[in-house]
């Protein structure tokens, strides 16, 4: 058998690689992966909104020498099967080039290390003219002309990545930078989510800035805002540990508008349930049950954090963009057995509206009645609020009150509530619903209830102590203690 070398034709292959599937957000995230691997603590993204000619990413990592830069600019510079440090976010040795060229036609990298500065450039137009894998090596005069290079030269070490000829990133821009600015806004949202664990902490391990404005972390689990965290689970695969932890978001009635947006928006609450897979604390894929479980209304508050080491990349089918992964069979089997337990708290929150006080469940104003004709809801005449109203009724008025309550029960708009509930439009908490008006209303309602037991102090104290177990007080736990103190 004869063998013949068939090297790819550079212009055609490089143009084809631009269609791998990067969007602007994924491309920028891929560059930041390199910065994190280089031990950077600060990443600055610079662009001129009114002049969409170039965009730059500058980090304060350890930088590269001449040989390291040449290796970084070579396509396929690393074997994906090589063993890498635990904090290394790369894999294929293609990310810098493919991510950049998906958005621009000229990529320039300038780097500083040990007091020396080096630069190289890929220009697709140059490659097309030469018909070969020709990269430019910058001399000092060339380096001075690189956009935004002055920021790098102020640092002792670091790397500057510059995109020019923004034929994809600024496609359709009329020259005023409006389209570029909109795409950068989506990039910011993506970075806030994908790197939220790197951006969190005091001080954070990483700071990302967009034209001097810091990117704020976007925690999909709302850990500091009332989410319930389940126990940590561990799966051992090929001597490596995969860690899982389920989080149950607060019921939507307990969330402010800002918190709902952070959790994915009203529509996103259901779509974003499922597994959130992290590779070295960098979010890879999210909002999926990997076909192990259906997305359901009652489970939409469940989000499961999965931490995977880079040593298992080959099992998770990680793609070049690091935006897709699929668990191997050994992990899928374990996940399948854990999912029912993980989603149970979300089901409970929806069934009981998430309000549990002490050892007893919240007593709702409405009671559910199931008979041969199906299910109906009626006002609970034994609920303390309703019972107080009936006890205080003057002679002859009790039947009138009961008639009104029956009319309310009979006219409950069940179908409208169901439709609104399915679209997450019911129970949205106002930004300031714990204000003075709500507090005054609840306190007056509590006084009315307690006044009915003025001659029975023991029952009065029991009712006051258990105030948080009854609707509507259970909706406002932060106010219940204040009311109890004032009325005790």
Strand 282-288 with 240-248, pairing: unpaired
Contact between residue 379 and residue 365 where contact means Cβ atoms under 8 Å apart = yes
- Here the CATH number for the domain that contains residue 270 is 3.30.230
The span from the CA of 434 to the CA of 437, in Å, is 8
For residue 224, give every residue at least 6 positions away whose Cβ sits within 8 Å of its Cβ, in sequence order, or none.
none
> Which of 130-134, 157-161, 240-244, 480-484 shows the lowest mean pLDDT across its residues?
480-484
Domain boundary among 318, 352, 386: 352
Residue 241 forms part of a structural domain: yes
Cα–Cα nearest to 323, from 12, 27, 54: 27
Q: CA–CA separation, 77 vs 92, rounded Å? A: 8
**Judgement on whether residues 35 and 171 belong to the same structural domain of the protein:** yes
Q: Please check whether residues 336 and 392 belong to one and the same domain.
A: no
Task: Provide the number of structural domains found in the chain.
Answer: 3
Query: Is residue 30 assigned to a domain?
Result: yes
Question: Does 141 fall in a domain?
Answer: yes
Q: Could you tell me if 179 and 282 lie in one domain?
A: no
- Residue 384 — φ and ψ, nearest 5°? -55, -40
Confidence of residue 281 (pLDDT cuts 50, 70, 90): very high
3 state DSSP class of 20: coil
Same domain, 41 and 160: yes
392 with 294, same domain: the answer is: no
Contact in structure between 3 and 124 (CB atoms under 8 Å): no
Cα–Cα distance, 198 to 166 (Å, whole number): 29
**Are 92 and 121 contained in the same domain?**
yes
Same domain as 209, residue 87: yes
The answer to whether the beta carbons of residues 217 and 192 sit under 8 Å apart is yes
CB 240 within 8 A of CB 310: no
Alpha-carbon distance values, 54 to 58, 107, 169, 187, 454 (Å): 13, 10, 10, 16, 76
* Neighbour-count burial of 220, counting CB atoms closer than 10 A to its CB (0-12 exposed, 13-18 middle, 19+ buried): buried
Residue 348 lies in a domain: yes
Same domain, 372 and 435: yes
Task: Check whether 216 has a pLDDT greater than 90.
Answer: yes
Both 139 and 276 in one domain: the answer is no
* Distances, alpha carbon 401 to alpha carbons 74, 391, 395, in Å: 82, 11, 11
pTM over 0.75: no
- Look at residue 210 and tell me if it is in a domain: yes
Q: Of 311, 334, 352, which residue is a domain's last?
A: 352
Q: Which of 324, 352, 380 is the last residue of a domain?
A: 352
Q: Same domain, yes or no, for 291 and 204?
A: no
**Domain span at residue 54?**
10-214
| 302 in a structural domain | yes
Q: pLDDT tens digits for 350-408?
A: 655 434 333 346 778 888 777 666 777 888 877 877 877 777 777 667 777 888 888 88
Percent of the chain with pLDDT over 70: 86
Is residue 389 domain-shared with residue 322, that is, in the same domain?
no
What pLDDT, on a 0 to 100 scale, did the predictor assign at position 387? 78
Structure tokens at 219: 């925690």
**Could you tell me where the DSSP H helices lie in 263-311?**
265-271
Specify whether 241 is located in the same domain as 172.
no
Is the distance from CB of 298 to CB of 350 less than 8 angstroms?
Answer: yes
324 in a structural domain: yes
Residue 368: strand pairing partners: 377
pLDDT at 163 over 60: yes
- CATH label of the domain that carries residue 171: 3.30.565.10
Residue 205 resides in a domain? yes
């Amino acid at each position: 058998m004869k063998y013949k070398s068939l090297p790819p034709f550079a212009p055609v292959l490089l143009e084809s690689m631009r269609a791998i599937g990067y969007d602007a957000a994924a491309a920028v995230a891929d560059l930041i992966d390199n910065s994190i691997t280089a031990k950077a603590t600060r990443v600055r993204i610079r662009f001129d909104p009114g002049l969409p000619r170039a965009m730059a990413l500058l980090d304060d990592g350890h930088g590269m020498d001449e040989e390291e830069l040449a290796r970084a600019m070579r396509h396929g510079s690393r074997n994906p099967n090589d063993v890498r440090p635990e904090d290394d976010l790369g894999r294929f040795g293609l990310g810098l080039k493919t991510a950049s060229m998906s958005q621009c036609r000229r990529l320039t990298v300038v780097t500083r290390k040990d007091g020396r500065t080096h630069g190289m450039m890929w220009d697709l137009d140059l490659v097309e003219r030469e018909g070969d894998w020709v990269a430019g090596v910058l001399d000092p005069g060339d380096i001075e002309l690189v956009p935004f290079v002055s920021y790098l030269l102020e640092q002792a070490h670091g790397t500057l990545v510059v995109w020019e000829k923004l034929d994809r990133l600024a496609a359709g821009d009329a020259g005023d930078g409006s389209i570029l600015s909109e795409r950068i806004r989506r990039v910011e949202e993506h970075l806030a989510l994908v790197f939220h664990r790197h951006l969190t902490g005091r001080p954070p391990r990483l700071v990302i800035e967009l034209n001097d404005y810091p990117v704020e972390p976007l925690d999909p689990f709302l850990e500091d805002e009332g989410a319930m965290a389940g126990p940590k689970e561990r799966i051992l695969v090929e001597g490596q540990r995969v860690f899982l932890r389920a989080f149950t978001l607060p019921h939507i009635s307990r969330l402010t508008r800002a918190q709902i947006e952070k959790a994915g928006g009203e529509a996103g609450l259901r779509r974003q349930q499922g597994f959130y897979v992290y590779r070295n604390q960098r979010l890879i894929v999210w909002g999926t049950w990997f076909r192990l479980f259906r997305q359901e209304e009652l489970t939409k508050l469940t989000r499961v954090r999965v931490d995977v080491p880079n040593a298992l990349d080959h099992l998770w089918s990680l793609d070049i963009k690091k935006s897709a992964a699929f668990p191997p069979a050994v992990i899928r089997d374990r996940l399948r057995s854990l999912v029912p337990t993980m989603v149970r708290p979300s089901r409970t929150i929806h069934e009981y509206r998430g309000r549990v006080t002490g050892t007893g469940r919240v007593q709702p104003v409405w009671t559910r009645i199931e008979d041969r004709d199906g299910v109906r809801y009626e006002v609970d005449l034994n609920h303390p609020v309703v019972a107080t109203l009936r006890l205080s009724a003057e002679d002859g008025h009790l039947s009138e009150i009961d008639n009104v309550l029956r009319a309310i029960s009979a006219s409950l708009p069940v179908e409208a509530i169901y439709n609104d509930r399915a679209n997450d439009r019911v129970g949205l908490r106002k930004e300031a619903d714990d204000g003075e008006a709500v507090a005054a209303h609840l306190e007056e309602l509590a006084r009315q209830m307690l006044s009915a037991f003025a001659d029975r102090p023991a029952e009065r104290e029991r009712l006051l102590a258990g105030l948080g177990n009854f609707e509507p007080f259970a909706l406002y736990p932060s106010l219940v203690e204040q009311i109890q103190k004032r009325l005790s």
